[in-house]
Amino acid sequence: MQDMNYSMLLISLWILTTFVSLSFNVDTTSASTSVVEKLICNKTLDPNFCTAILRSNHRSQNASAFDLAILAVDLASANATATTAKIHSLYRSEANASLKYYFAACEEYYEESLVFLGVARKHLQQGDYDGANEAASAAYDNADYCEDALNTPPFKSTLTKENANLQMLAQIIVDAANMMPISSRHVTNAALKKFHPFDGGFRVLGARVIAFLLIVIFIT
């Protein structure tokens, strides 16, 4: 009986060692993955695009929701600036009067979007997250208006990708801003990692359960 208890003790110690090892190393294969980034991107219509576009910039690493919102504003602004230049070029080279009119409208929409994105940044920095949400939503709507205009029959939009990119970036701003009242701009991934099932309280609880089992086995 004593030999069996000794064997059970060894097995339990092995389980405890394995559990602790997994608890501390479970996230090593994705150490660069942002917890906040996941929470935001999972709310978007295209999580893969969201993840790819944010990770394309080094500023997304270990960023807070506030940091990612600012990054999305910068990326959206760059997108809108490049698209505005493209639209202007298309406008100048277009011979069709109707299509030329739609390009002119799109140029105005994108110029407005740049203003809205600047307002969104200002609101974020002031802690006015509802204001940031509204401004980013306005930029989102303008991309939609441009796409609708260029799809007026018999025409087909030549800026579908650009409009979709601006909308998705604007959505990231909105989703990040919506997280702010919960996480605040100062909450980092380190703080949010307590929600990981192998971290924080769960790890402590598991260790205590196994320790209790060891004591029971030892005294019997």
Cα(20)–Cα(54) distance, rounded to whole angstroms? Answer: 32
Q: In this structure, which amino acid lies at residue 65? A: A
Cα(150)–Cα(135) distance, rounded to whole angstroms? Answer: 23
Cα(189)–Cα(218) distance, rounded to whole angstroms? Answer: 40
- 184: which residues sit within 8 A by CB, 6+ positions away? 66
Helix (H) or strand (E) holding 59: none
Contact by Cβ (8 Å): 103, 87: yes
Cα torsion angle, 145, 150, 154, 160, sign: negative
Query: Mean per-residue pLDDT for 146-159?
Result: 96
| pLDDT at residue number 1 | 52
Q: pTM of this prediction?
A: 0.67
- DSSP 3-state of 96: coil
Per-residue pLDDT tens for 74-100? 999 999 999 999 999 999 999 999 999
| pLDDT at residue number 44 | 87
Structure tokens at 100: 């030329």
